Structure 1
Amino acid sequence: MKAALKTADGRFEIAEVDAPDLPAADWVKARVRMAGICGTDLRHWEKAEEELHCCIMGHELAGEVVEIGADVTRVAVGDRVLIESVLGCGSCEWCRVQQYNRCPDLYPTRRASVWRAYAELVVGPQHKFHKLPDQIGYDDATLLDTYAVGLHAQHLSGLTINARVAIIGAGPIGLGQLMLAKASGAEVLIIDTVPHALELAERLGADRVVQSDHEDPVAAIRAMTNGRGADIVFECAGGESMPDTLPLATRLVRRGGKVVIVGGFDAGETSIALEWQRIQMSEITLIPSASFAFHDLYSEQATVLDLLTRGKLRTQELITHRFPLERINEAFETAQDGRRTGAIFVGLTIG
């Protein structure tokens, strides 16, 4: 099959590689039709990472089932599917209670199968394949990994109706967080420095947008909340901006409020200066949020698919660019330079 392999300098080259086999009777093989580029992928872009050299990357994907094992009952050949890429070892204490996003072997396990979106074929256990309704396209489905991340963060936050919410970052995760909060009855202020992202946030229902390099976001949230600050702040920018955005989040939140850390970090130690005395004296809660799994009885991946199907979430406005797999390096360059290119979510058509 054709696949994009990571090069020594952190870019990609297209190569012919062996197609994956079904390793067990309850596994499924699918032809990838669409894959996305998210912030996690961009943090590995143009970085020399020996452990990823020649690896197939990508974890936001949808496709068509082409082969099933003898014990598969969940899907059939020809089904259009959303493929969930959060896959734990299945045997640890966390996996046994459906907290597989906390699995100690999460990344080695998922990279061996479902975390290989930038290729023509992928395999995984049947419970990671969700049938798509007729009205949901492959491109719509590729955003649902992102939305499930936001749903998991919202579940951890305890958000209730009429909450005052601030969101830092108007990329795909922040915009998904916005739609989920609005669907739950919250009033939402969203912060970014990119004008076209904030314009889209307004169209998606934001009550207030703040371009933080032109306006003070702390003053804006206080004006919106009778001087108190937000009940909940979602930090959705992450990466290199975190030393600035996490302290900002703690200034936006009210006394007794919650800061949910959704944006990702690079591996290793990250030093971030916080006003710990003020955080402690105000009893501000910091909540790390990692990927998604189950909430009570319900798969968070399946839940956002249901919300999209019922019109509670939107996708097409976020998909600004599409590239064939052969142009993956151009696609990453476009996604990386979103301020210039106007990119929000960049998709790759495959197969």
Structure 2
Amino acid sequence: MKAALKTADGRFEIADVDVPIIPASDFVLARVRVAGICGTDLRHWKKAEPELECHIVGHELAGEVVEVGEGVVNLKPGDRVVIETVMGDGICEYCNIQQYNICEHLYDVRTKFVSRAYGEFVCGPEKKFYKLPDHVSFEEAALIDTFSVCLHAHHLGQVSVNQRVVIIGAGPIGLGQLQLAKMSGADVLITDLVGSSLELAKDLGADATVEGGQDALIKRVMDFTGGRGADIVFECAGGESMPETLPLATKLVRRGGKVVVVGGFDSGEIAIPLAWQRIQMSEIQLIMSASFAFHGIYPEQGMVLEMLSNGKLNAQKLITHRFGLDQINEAFETANAKDETGAVFVAITIS
């Protein structure tokens, strides 16, 4: 099969590799139709990472079943599916209580099986494959992973009616967070450095938007919240901006409020000075959100699929650019230069 392999300098090269083999009776082989580029992917772009060299990566994908193991009961060849890529080892104490998103072996397992979106075929257990209704396109389905990350953070933040919510970052995660907060009856202010992303945020229901500038943002948030500060701040930028955005989030939140960290950190120890006395004396909660798993008895990815199918979430408006697999480096350049290109969600047609 054709696949994009990571190179020594963190880019991609197209190569022919072996098609995955079904390793167990409950596994499914699917042809990938569409994959996406997210913030996590961009944090690895053009970085020399020997552990990823010659590997297939990518974790936002949808496709079509081509083969099933003898123990598979709910899927058949031809079924259109979205693939969940949060997959733990299945045997640890966290996996046993459906908190596999914090499994110690999460990345080892997911990258071996389901987290290989930039290749023509992917293989994984049946429980990670969700059937798509005919009216949900592969492109829209590729955003279900993103929205599932948002839903997990939404659950942790416990967003409710009439709250004042601030979102830092208007990329796919921030715009997904916006939609969920509005669905729950909150008033939402969202901020970003890219004007085109904020225009989209307005179209998706944002009550207020702020483009750049900490001082102006702090004043605007205080005006928005009656001088109290936000009930909940979602940090959705992450990466290299975290040393600035995390302290900012703690300045925007009210006493007794919550800061939910959704944007990803880079690896290693990172020193980020915070006003810890204010955080402690104000009982501000810092909540870390990682991927997604289950909410009660319901898989969060399944919940998102249902909301998307019912028209409660809008994925189509977030899709700004489309490329073929052979153009994957151009696709990443476009996604990475969003201030110039206006990119939000970049879709890659695999096959």
TM norm structure 1: 0.99
Structure 1 partner of 2:27: 27
Structure 2 counterpart of 1:286, one-letter code: L
Tell me how far apart the structure 2 counterparts of residues 74 and 150 of structure 1 sit (CA, whole Å): 27
Tell me how far apart the structure 1 counterparts of residues 251 and 192 of structure 2 sit (CA, whole Å): 16
Could you list the runs of 4 or more consecutive aligned residues of structure 1 that deviate by over 4 angstroms after TM superposition?
Answer: none
Structure 1 partner of 2:46: 46
Q: 2:220 matched to 1:217?
A: no
Tell me how far apart the structure 2 counterparts of residues 74 and 184 of structure 1 sit (CA, whole Å): 33
Structure 1 counterpart of 2:120, one-letter code: E
Structure 2 counterpart of 1:348, one-letter code: I
Structure 1 partner of 2:161: 161
Tell me how far apart the structure 2 counterparts of residues 174 and 108 of structure 1 sit (CA, whole Å): 27
Tell me how far apart the structure 2 counterparts of residues 74 and 345 of structure 1 sit (CA, whole Å): 31
Partner-residue secondary structure (3-state), 2:199: helix
For the Cα contact (< 8 Å) 1:85–1:110, is it kept in 2? yes
Tell me how far apart the structure 1 counterparts of residues 96 and 75 of structure 2 sit (CA, whole Å): 23
Structure 2 partner of 1:310: 310
Report the count of equivalent residues. 351
Offset at residue 215 of structure 1 (A): 6.5
Partner-residue secondary structure (3-state), 1:334: helix
Offset at residue 213 of structure 1 (A): 3.0
Offset at residue 222 of structure 1 (A): 1.1
Structure 1 partner of 2:180: 180
Structure 1 partner of 2:144: 144
Tell me how far apart the structure 2 counterparts of residues 249 and 101 of structure 1 sit (CA, whole Å): 24
Q: 2:199 matched to 1:199?
A: yes
Structure 1 counterpart of 2:86, one-letter code: V
For the Cα contact (< 8 Å) 1:80–1:132, is it kept in 2? yes
Offset at residue 76 of structure 1 (A): 1.1
Matches within 5 A, 1:285-304: 285-304=285-304
Partner-residue secondary structure (3-state), 2:94: helix
Structure 1 partner of 2:103: 103
Gaps of 5+ in 2: none
Structure 1 counterpart of 2:253, one-letter code: V
Matches within 5 A, 1:273-288: 273-288=273-288
Q: 2:18 matched to 1:9?
A: no
Matches within 5 A, 1:324-335: 324-335=324-335
Tell me how far apart the structure 2 counterparts of residues 219 and 279 of structure 1 sit (CA, whole Å): 19
Structure 2 partner of 1:260: 260
Structure 1 counterpart of 2:146, one-letter code: T
Partner-residue secondary structure (3-state), 1:93: coil
Partner-residue secondary structure (3-state), 1:291: coil
Partner-residue secondary structure (3-state), 2:124: strand
Structure 2 partner of 1:92: 92
For the Cα contact (< 8 Å) 1:29–1:68, is it kept in 2? yes
Partner-residue secondary structure (3-state), 1:216: helix
For the Cα contact (< 8 Å) 1:321–1:345, is it kept in 2? yes
Per-residue Cα deviation, 1:120-172 (whole angstroms, up to 9, x for no partner): 00000000000001110000000110000010001011111111100000000
Offset at residue 74 of structure 1 (A): 2.1
Partner-residue secondary structure (3-state), 1:162: coil
Partner-residue secondary structure (3-state), 1:65: strand
Structure 2 counterpart of 1:10, one-letter code: G
Offset at residue 82 of structure 1 (A): 0.4
Tell me how far apart the structure 2 counterparts of residues 74 and 258 of structure 1 sit (CA, whole Å): 41
Per-residue Cα deviation, 1:295-327 (whole angstroms, up to 9, x for no partner): 001000010111111111001111000000000
Tell me how far apart the structure 2 counterparts of residues 220 and 187 of structure 1 sit (CA, whole Å): 14
Q: 1:194 to 1:214 in 2, by over 3 A?
A: farther
Tell me how far apart the structure 1 counterparts of residues 74 and 241 of structure 2 sit (CA, whole Å): 41
% identical aligned pairs:
65
Partner-residue secondary structure (3-state), 2:85: coil
Offset at residue 214 of structure 1 (A): 8.3
Tell me how far apart the structure 2 counterparts of residues 224 and 112 of structure 1 sit (CA, whole Å): 46
Tell me how far apart the structure 2 counterparts of residues 238 and 187 of structure 1 sit (CA, whole Å): 23
Offset at residue 240 of structure 1 (A): 0.3
Structure 2 partner of 1:133: 133
Partner-residue secondary structure (3-state), 1:268: coil
Offset at residue 237 of structure 1 (A): 0.2
Tell me how far apart the structure 2 counterparts of residues 283 and 214 of structure 1 sit (CA, whole Å): 23
Structure 1 counterpart of 2:201, one-letter code: A
For the Cα contact (< 8 Å) 1:153–1:289, is it kept in 2? yes
Structure 2 counterpart of 1:284, one-letter code: I
Tell me how far apart the structure 2 counterparts of residues 74 and 228 of structure 1 sit (CA, whole Å): 51
Gaps of 5+ in 1: none
Structure 1 counterpart of 2:37, one-letter code: I
Offset at residue 73 of structure 1 (A): 1.1
Offset at residue 221 of structure 1 (A): 1.3
Structure 2 counterpart of 1:207, one-letter code: D
Structure 2 counterpart of 1:77, one-letter code: P
For the Cα contact (< 8 Å) 1:74–1:127, is it kept in 2? no
